[in-house]
Amino acid sequence: MKKTPFKVLAPTAILGYGFPEESFAKGLAQKPDLIAVDAGSTDPGPYYLGAGKSFTSRSAVKRDLEFMLAGALELSVPCIIGTAGGAGAREHVQWTESIIAEIAVERNYKFRMAVINADVSKAEVLQAMRENRICPLYPAPEITAEDVEKSVRIVAQMGVEPVIEALKKGAQVILCGRCYDPISFAAPAIREGYDPGPALHMGKILECAAIAATPGSGSDCVFGALYNDCFELESLNWRRQFTCISTAAHTLYEKTDPYKLPGPGGTLDLQDTRFEALENGRVRVSGTRFLPAVPYTVKLEGVKLTGFRTISIAGIGDPILISQLDSVLDTVSAQVKESLTGAGTLLFHTYGGPESPAAKSFGATRSQQVGLVMEVIAHDQNTANTICSYVRSTLLHFGYPGRISTAGNLALLYSPSDIQCGPVYEFSIYHLMAVDDPKSLFPIRVSEVNA
């Protein structure tokens, strides 16, 4: 039974979201055993995995890492980054690694770093399909060979085992590809013998940092103290505090079952979890159990290219047009399809108007305008541009019944009015894959940085 707490400093909800220096300094003063951060998510959609790009800026990520590396080296504790670069594929990991190397040169830091990639080859997935080791995660359909072959990138969510192996290899800085969000915060404690139930539950809260406090923020630091049978949470900014409600609410975050939280290798059982308010805006959480699962499964995420997008954004203020907008948009859509058969997909997205929920709640006079996004997806960018231009000009001058003015029907927000958005990706793989060895998909490369 562990008598002393394992202390974790979580600086921000996503690497690159920032945090106040004062909050971070307060966390360092409490001598954490670990500084950890989650750097990614599928929340921004499939684009960033497909494009191999980060959804956070390089300068913001570098700023956060400068503080984190300085603190970890000063205290001689691990610094762990999960789901590097936003999506955790090889390109994202390399991008983050280049930032770390740059900081090390500029500040003359020397440390041992482990890089854990999470990319899965198409051959590995196809082999698992043949062996019936893959099942869908709702609402994904059954996987097909075509889904695999069309995928641009495929990653797997690692569990604690690869990170623990990197710690055994003496790494002080660990840069992970795609991983289960709580892992960066929980793995070192589990290696030290702490119960994985409270450890993973604490990681579940800390990975979003002060979002789980009141008032919530994605750009502030929090502190977690893990004991063998419970953990305690503390805001590092006097403006925020943890409450039982805020902590319990975040425990329910991104869950389909209020009592079960599945992850690599098992499930957190929350049926007996208890939340207890402590002094100074702190909360103690106890009773969470980890139930190992057989077989051990990891989540696969894969994306495929589906086309190229162009959009145009407009406002509509004529009540005569607004009253028949659906039929006008249907007519314009039919006209476009007749002129440009099979060339692409046209979507209209409307916002506001007297029939919107917001307008009804305040009275129709409060919202007599409609926002309209015209979206076109085609097999190449030039075709998407052409169709969007045709749609926008057709609707701009469309002669609808009751029209009084011959001026334009749309107030276009931007000039140029059509915005070229580039490639469009969608999830092709969102499945679980059973593995015999939790470390087999996640190769570890150890190096001496700036040696």
* CATH number of residue 329's parent domain: 3.30.70
Neighbours of 223 (CB within 10 A): 21
| Cβ atoms of 175 and 113 closer than 8 Å | yes
146 in a domain, yes or no?
no
Q: Is the same domain home to 246 and 342?
A: no
150 in a domain, yes or no?
no
pLDDT at residue 255, as a whole number: 81
128 in a domain, yes or no?
no
Q: Is the same domain home to 266 and 310?
A: no
Q: Is the same domain home to 223 and 332?
A: no
53 in a domain, yes or no?
yes
pLDDT averaged over 10-residue windows placed end to end, the chain, 451 residues: 86 98 98 97 95 97 98 98 98 98 98 98 98 94 96 98 98 98 98 97 97 97 97 97 96 89 96 97 98 97 98 94 94 90 88 63 58 97 95 95 89 96 97 97 97 80
pLDDT at residue 338, as a whole number: 86
pLDDT at residue 407, as a whole number: 82
Per the structure, the complete domain to which residue 397 belongs is given by 303-427
Using alpha carbons, list the distances in angstroms from residue 443 to 120, 176, 192: 11, 10, 22
Q: Is the same domain home to 57 and 187?
A: yes
pLDDT at residue 355, as a whole number: 63
Dump the DSSP string for 187-246: HHHHHTT--HHHHHHHHHHHTTGGGGSBS--SSS-EEEEE-SSEEEEEESSTT-B--HHH
139 in a domain, yes or no?
no
Q: Is the same domain home to 33 and 172?
A: yes
Global pTM value: 0.93
Q: Is the same domain home to 12 and 83?
A: yes
Q: Is the same domain home to 202 and 274?
A: yes
Q: Is the same domain home to 324 and 261?
A: no
H-state helical runs in 4-144: 21-29, 47-51, 58-75, 90-107, 122-130
332 in a domain, yes or no?
yes
Q: Is the same domain home to 323 and 284?
A: no
124 in a domain, yes or no?
no
Cross-strand partners of 450: none
265: phi then psi, degrees, rounded to nearest 5: 80, 0
Q: How far apart are CA 400 and CA 50, in angstroms?
A: 41
Q: Is the same domain home to 277 and 180?
A: yes
pLDDT at residue 395, as a whole number: 96
For CA atoms 13, 309, 325, 369, the dihedral sign is positive
Q: Strand ranges (DSSP E) for 209-358?
A: 222-226, 230-235, 260-263, 266-269, 274-278, 282-286, 289-292, 296-316, 344-352
237 in a domain, yes or no?
yes
Give the burial class of 384: count Cβ atoms within 10 A of its Cβ; 0-12 exposed, 13-18 middle, 19 or more buried: buried
Q: How many domains, in total, are found in the chain?
A: 2
pLDDT at residue 356, as a whole number: 54
pLDDT at residue 363, as a whole number: 46
Q: How far apart are CA 332 and CA 409, in angstroms?
A: 13
Q: Is the same domain home to 77 and 180?
A: yes
| Cβ atoms of 302 and 153 closer than 8 Å | yes
Q: Which residue has the tokens 């969000």?
A: 181
pLDDT at residue 362, as a whole number: 41
pLDDT at residue 340, as a whole number: 80
pLDDT at residue 138, as a whole number: 87
Q: Is the same domain home to 356 and 329?
A: yes
Neighbours of 58 (CB within 10 A): 15
